[in-house]
Amino acid sequence: MRFLENDRTGRVALVLLLIAVGAFGALLLLDLLTIGPGYPPPEALQKWYIPQPRYEYAENGSVVVNRTIEGDIVLLGDIKERCSSLFPDLSRYCSHAVYLDTVSSDRYLIVNWYFDDNADFLQAEEVLCSRLRSSGNVTSAELILPNKPDISPDEPITGLITVTKYESEASSGYFVAVEKPLSPEHSDYFIVYYGVLGPADLLDHTDALEELMLRSYSLRGARPLASCS
Amino acid sequence: MLLLAASVLLPIAGAAATSGESHQTTECSPERDLTVSVHTASSIASLKVNEIAGDIPDFADWRNGNVEFSTTYYNFEGAPAAYSFDIVVNGEYRGYILVSATRKNYPILEFSKGFAPDKCSELMTHSSEIAGKFAEKRGLNTGDAELLYLGATFYYAKFPLADSRGIKQDFIIIDLTAPSIVDESSTRLPVTGDEFLQQQQEKQKEISVLWEALDDQMKSPDLTISTKLVTGTSGYINGVPTYLWQLGCSPTASAMVLGYWDSHGYPNFPGEDPLIQELATAMGTTPEGSTWPWDIDDGIDEVCADHGYSSMDSSDDAWMTFDEVKSEVDAQRPFVLSLWGGGTSIGGDEPYGDHSVAYVGYHDYTEDWVSIHDTWDTQIHNIVYSDWLGAMATWVRP
């Protein structure tokens, strides 16, 4: 009798084991079949906040570049996959681009530093603030970004963002820091600079810079550089 | 990482980088001369300006614009690479169009309402100053600059450096868009590797087809005949927006498809950010950004219904064929393509893996390609059809 009981227990255990293996296999299969996240590689993130040109098909099927970003502002040349010489080389994932207002001939610079490590990001903020203070005037400022044109009217406005204002002879503009803007699950950190090149009254160019910010990836949650506050 | 990733850029750069070799072949063999004259390029520019004006609303003001030759850009070896033409409407400058000076590259390289770097006097002056200072340090003088075009967005000026007797000693290259001195060696693109060369050969086939189609179009008494109809080898959909990754590749790719319909008769969809958010919620995208592929169509249907488009029908197809893909594009219906083990785009260096993209075109050549918006940038990428372990189409049909 004991033998039979042991046999029955063994069978039950075997069935349970098979069910567990089957369930595990099914979960594994489900996991394997899910699509995504398809996360952008660092090489893409290094220019994430830089407004990019549009690529369109010509009638013959070839792809052509449309450099007009918005209104009279066009991308001048290409997006450089390296840091601007005006600012320190804070990250190996760094890009910058120059934009031209074809009416006023003003030139605007956007620099994007990308970090995949929080400690590197915080250290970079410190280094950058130190360099900015030694080369120009650093203060805090608030910008009100209007709605993106393609957002429905009932959407809340992008709203107020506090930024780090930088003014120097070489360039004046606004720095923002953005933490994990793509997903709270992924460690991405950005420092972005939107500025005008050359000596200029920054207030005269704030509208254009705000326009470029709107053409960037979402600045939701952006803050000024911590070490400059 | 390659300097350029867009499908349009690689063949251009490749053509530039290999032009020296090809140039020699042309000299030593009775092959067809691949050089395009300024006169021919001017005719092509005139034709294309009107096509662009008709196809792209932002450029409607280019209609009947005059094209005026501006300058010739060269490659590293000194052969003409591109001709720049100003677009003039009623006596006013409206932009420029860049036509290839060789049939080894796509006929139309760029167009814009802005200025080509050679038209931007500030840049040219600054470049000359940089070259002048460099020459001065070496006790040399700069001569007249030769403008270089080494692929989309790669504009340079090559200044000869001569001694006091006027004898050329060296040269310096300035990146016109920086402007800054560039190291010539660092601007050359990698042309080694069988895969890259094979890609170039495939691209060359495509380029040849496009030029032949253009030849037919130029000969036709009815210049409105589309080259697309003449060749019948490729299809594309203009007007699909390019959104960058948010919340997950599947909701982002799906939002691009609905964004297309938003501007094609279904205007109730919200803007980019809220649309992606709605789709991510509706298709149950995880916080990490993963989506169960069979929920993509349900999510799209739900969002469409929420905005009053219950008639919009989205459906999965895990057994899609290239013919189906072509007919969908020919019907001007972009769709979501979800890849398992997706390969690398042509010219790219990062495999897609498990990834959803928006499908916007096809190339039906010896090797079939599909054209996609991949959520990683705003470029149109090509990937060889079936360069994946598995794929599923999510058709979106009104």
Q: Which residues pair with B199 in a beta bridge?
A: none
DSSP B3-57: S--STTHHHHHHHHHTHHHHHHHHHHS-PPP-B--HHHHHHHHHHHHHHHHHH-G
| Chain A hits for B376, Cβ within 8 Å | 40-41, 44
Identify whether residues B200 and B239 lie together within a single domain. no
Radius of gyration of chain B (CA): 23
Over residues A138-158, the pLDDT tens digits come to 999 999 887 655 544 444 445
Question: Which of B8, B46, B154, B256 is the best substitution to test chain A (most A C-beta atoms within 10 A)?
Answer: B8
**pLDDT at residue B155, rounded to an integer:** 78
DSSP B322-388: HHHHHHHHHTT--EEEEEEEE-PPTT--S--EEEEEEEEEEEESSSEEEEEE-SSSSS-EEEETT-S
**pLDDT at residue B189, rounded to an integer:** 38
Number of residues in chain A: 229
Identify whether residues B173 and B272 lie together within a single domain. no
CB B39 within 8 A of CB B114: no
Q: Nearest Cβ partner of B270 from A76, A151, A183? A: A151
Residues 45-104 of A with CB under 8 A from B: 47-48, 52-68, 74-81, 85, 98, 100, 102
Return the H-helix or E-strand segment holding A126.
Answer: helix A118-135
Identify whether residues B228 and B252 lie together within a single domain. no
Determine the Cα–Cα distance for residues B280 and B258; give it in Å rounded to an integer. Answer: 13
Domains of chain A, by residue range, sit at: 42-228
Determine the Cα–Cα distance for residues B67 and A145; give it in Å rounded to an integer. Answer: 39
Provide the 3-class DSSP secondary structure of residue B308.
coil
CB A37 within 8 A of CB B248: yes
Determine the Cα–Cα distance for residues A176 and A191; give it in Å rounded to an integer. Answer: 6
Identify whether residues B322 and B388 lie together within a single domain. yes
Number of compact structural domains in chain B: 2
What is the rounded average pLDDT for all residues in chain A?
A: 88
- Among the ranges given (A20-24, A196-200, B182-186), the one the predictor scored with the smallest mean pLDDT: B182-186
Q: Which token pair is A80?
A: 């450089």
**B211, B232, B253 — which closes off a domain?**
B232
| Chain A hits for B273, Cβ within 8 Å | 148, 151, 155, 218
Determine the Cα–Cα distance for residues B286 and B354; give it in Å rounded to an integer. Answer: 15
Along the 398 residues of chain B, how does pLDDT read in single tens digits?
A: 222 233 333 333 333 333 333 333 333 344 457 889 888 898 888 888 887 777 665 677 888 888 899 999 998 788 899 999 999 988 888 888 889 999 888 888 877 777 777 777 777 888 888 888 888 888 888 888 889 887 655 778 888 898 888 888 888 888 876 677 876 544 443 333 454 455 566 667 777 877 887 887 777 655 444 444 334 478 899 999 999 999 999 999 999 999 999 999 999 999 999 999 999 999 999 999 999 999 999 999 999 999 999 999 999 999 999 999 999 999 999 999 999 998 888 766 788 999 999 999 998 875 678 999 999 999 998 888 888 889 999 999 99
Question: Which of A43, A59, A98, A197 is the best substitution to test chain B (most B C-beta atoms within 10 A)?
Answer: A59
Identify whether residues B158 and B255 lie together within a single domain. no
**B232, B263, B284 — which closes off a domain?**
B232
Task: Tell me whether residues A85 and B180 touch, CB distance under 8 A.
Answer: yes
Q: Nearest Cβ partner of A58 from B52, B244, B356? A: B52
Strands A171-179 and A189-197: what pairing? antiparallel
Q: Which token pair is B23?
A: 């140039």
Identify whether residues B267 and B214 lie together within a single domain. no
Identify whether residues B90 and B148 lie together within a single domain. yes
For A101, which residue in chain B has the nearest alpha carbon? B114
Identify whether residues B13 and B128 lie together within a single domain. yes
Could you tell me which residue, A44 or B149, shows the higher pLDDT? A44
Q: Nearest Cβ partner of A35 from B52, B177, B291? A: B291
A179 φ, ψ (degrees, to nearest 5) = -110, 130
Sheet strands side by side (includes A159-167):
A68-70, A73-80, A93-101, A107-115, A189-197, A171-179, A159-167, A137-145
Identify whether residues B21 and B63 lie together within a single domain. yes
> A206, A30, A197, A61: which is closest to B371 by C-alpha?
A61
**pLDDT at residue B14, rounded to an integer:** 35
> B41, B172, B159, B164: which is closest to B108 by C-alpha?
B41
| Chain B hits for A93, Cβ within 8 Å | none
Residues 241-270 of B with CB under 8 A from A: 242, 244-250, 270
Determine the Cα–Cα distance for residues B356 and B145; give it in Å rounded to an integer. Answer: 46
Instruction: Kindly tell me the burial class for residue B217, based on how many C-beta atoms sit within 10 Å of its own C-beta (0-12, 13-18, 19 or more).
Output: buried
Return the H-helix or E-strand segment holding A22.
Answer: helix A2-33
Determine the Cα–Cα distance for residues B16 and A142; give it in Å rounded to an integer. Answer: 47
Residues 198-217 of A with CB under 8 A from B: 217
Q: pTM for this one? A: 0.65
Task: Tell me whether residues B376 and A57 touch, CB distance under 8 A.
Answer: no
**pLDDT at residue B188, rounded to an integer:** 40
Domain assignment of residue B263, given as a range: 235-397
Identify whether residues B225 and B248 lie together within a single domain. no
Determine the Cα–Cα distance for residues B202 and B160; give it in Å rounded to an integer. Answer: 36
CATH number at residue B279: 3.90.70.10
**B175, B209, B232 — which closes off a domain?**
B232
Residue B69 sits at the vertex; the CA angle it makes with B83 and B157, to the nearest 5 degrees, is 50
Identify whether residues B126 and B218 lie together within a single domain. yes
DSSP B50-96: HHHHHH-GGGGGGTT-EEEEEEEEE-TTS-EEEEEEEEEETTEEEEE
| Chain B hits for A41, Cβ within 8 Å | 350, 376
Determine the Cα–Cα distance for residues B268 and B101; give it in Å rounded to an integer. Answer: 45
Identify whether residues B24 and B172 lie together within a single domain. yes
Say what the ipTM of the complex is.
Answer: 0.86
Determine the Cα–Cα distance for residues B394 and B170; give it in Å rounded to an integer. Answer: 58
